[in-house]
Amino acid sequence: MTRILLSRMEAHPSDSHTLARYEATGGYAPLRKALGMAPEDIVAEVKAANLRGRGGASFPCGVKWGFLAPAEPRYLVINADESEPGTFKDRQLLERDPHQLLEGIIISSFALGVHHAFVYVRGEYPRPARRIQAAIDEAYAAGYLGADVAGSGYSLDVTVHLGGGAYICGEETALLNSLEGRRGEPRIKPPFPAVEGLYAKPTIVNNVETISNIPWIVEHGGAAYDAIGPEGSRGTKLFSLSGHVRKPGNYELVMGMSWREMIYDIGGGIRDGNALKAWIPGGASAPWFVEEHLDTPVTIDDIASNLSMIGSGAIVVMDETTCMVKAALRVVRFFSHESCGQCTPCREGTTWLQQVLTRLEAGDGRDIDLDLLLDISDNISPGLAWPPGMTTICPLGPSAVSPITSLAKYFKDEVVAHVHEGGCPLA
């Protein structure tokens, strides 16, 4: 069982979040090693690791770091906004091993020439915010932060920022606007944050899980990380399992297993001995999978070639008792609620999708409703392709289309039955 991220909290459940335990288990040794390296050599190790971002877009971390523009000052911002329905992995990393993340922040900041880093934590996560703040306080007291990091002369400050309850602030440019004290509305890209980010300065935005891997990569070398897991999906990945599985929870896994193993072995199978109906493989934004996908591999690229995405690693399992119209409505309601409203297709389209699904679920649907849903969806994301076509500033709008195309592809009969039977045929 390969462990990079969860080893400390599994071995020391009572105090894995403390500095004393962190140091006693080898913590901050990678930082000392990093401070003795040339910053560009650290970037090279992260590139060699082939670590792909864990926040949803799976962009190679080292490649992104390579885009950082030379202007000063530069910033590192950790995305701890974790709000994609089904996702709860970053919360565990923040609560149970905050020093691992913090050491990753310090090493990354040193490598990137950053002297002020931020951790943007969603507002509904006060406990994770308290834990990372406590770790930061301990690190200042121990000399790992401040004017002279571990006696190296390098200086770094870290500020924890609480969000205000808006999923869209997980999108990196909306997050930066929010951190600047503005409405959390995504910016048009380019310019990308690496060139013009926080306060229009070069900025790297990375996910909590991505950066929590950095101490291990520095300690063991990029090649060692690159030796774990299949090509394109190196290292370990945290998967959040929820819904109708017997054993929900976060699992640190080397990718490459089949979905059958993921759901039946790791997740313990379906509750109450029920049959599997569908699952969301990568958070609410991802198109759904069904039985025919059970023997396809769980890797970043295989999920993509099967026309969905690994996203944040959130797997939501639905059994045979689930009304698919209701499930789709719940997901669409989320995106409709969280739309920032800048783009008409997203703002209006998600509202209409919600209205049509609401009447279908209530038994007031019409024969044209499925076509209507697809038509509205086509206006949000032209062509209904995967990866989605975009008419909007950010991918939130197209995300609301995923449950609609999934319904049309796999559960057309169930939608039609809602119309003809005046409500859910399962009820």
Partner 1 sequence: MTWSRATETRAAAILARYPEKRSAVMPLLYLAMAEEGGDLTEDGMRRVAELTGLSAAQVQAVASFYTMYKRDGVGRYLVSVCTSISCMLCGGDEVLDAVADETGVPDGETGEDGLFSVEHVECIGACGGAPAVQVNYELVEGVTPEQARSLCRWLAEQRPETVVGDDLQERFGGQRSFDWGPEEAEGATGPVPAFGPLGTTGERS
Of residues 158 and 211, the one with the C-beta less far from partner 1: 158
Q: What is the DSSP string of 270-282?
A: BGGGPPEEEEESS
Quick one: tokens of 351?
């509202």
State yes or no: residue 330 binds partner 1 (CB under 8 A).
yes
Give the distance from CA 270 to its chain's centroid: 25
Contact by Cβ (8 Å): 255, 300: yes
Binding residue for ligand SF4 (CB under 6 A) from 128, 163, 186, 423?
A: 186
Instruction: Kindly tell me which of 235 and 248 has the beta carbon lying closer to partner 1.
Output: 248
CA distance 412 to 405: 10
Residues 277 and 319: their CA atoms lie apart, in Å, by 5
Q: How many residues bind partner 1 (CB under 8 A)?
A: 69
Sole window of 26-34, 283-291, 308-316, 386-394 interacting with ligand SF4 (rule: CB under 6 A): 386-394
**388 binding ligand SF4? (CB under 6 A):** no
Q: Which does 346 bind (CB under 5 to 8 A by kind): ligand FMN, partner 1, ligand SF4, none?
A: ligand SF4
In eight-state DSSP terms, residue 265 is I
Q: Which is nearer to ligand SF4, 213 or 392 (CB)?
A: 392
CB of 85 to ligand SF4, least distance (A): 15
> DSSP secondary-structure letter at 340?
-
Tokens 């944050």 locate to 193
- C-beta closer to ligand SF4: residue 168 or 407: 168
Residue (229 or 388) nearer to ligand SF4, CB? 388
Checking 264-271 for CB contacts under 8 A at 24+ apart, the result is 266/239, 266/241, 267/241, 267/315, 267/317, 269/245, 270/244, 270/245, 270/246, 270/317, 270/319, 271/244, 271/245, 271/246, 271/319
Find the shortest distance in angstroms from Cβ 363 to partner 1.
17
Which residues are near ligand SF4 by CB under 6 A? 168, 186, 339-343, 346-347, 392-394, 396-397
Q: Which residues bind partner 1 (CB under 8 A)?
A: 13-17, 73, 82-88, 90-92, 95-96, 116, 122-127, 129-130, 133-134, 159-167, 178-185, 199, 240-244, 248-250, 280, 284, 314, 316, 318, 322, 326-327, 330-331, 334, 337-338, 340
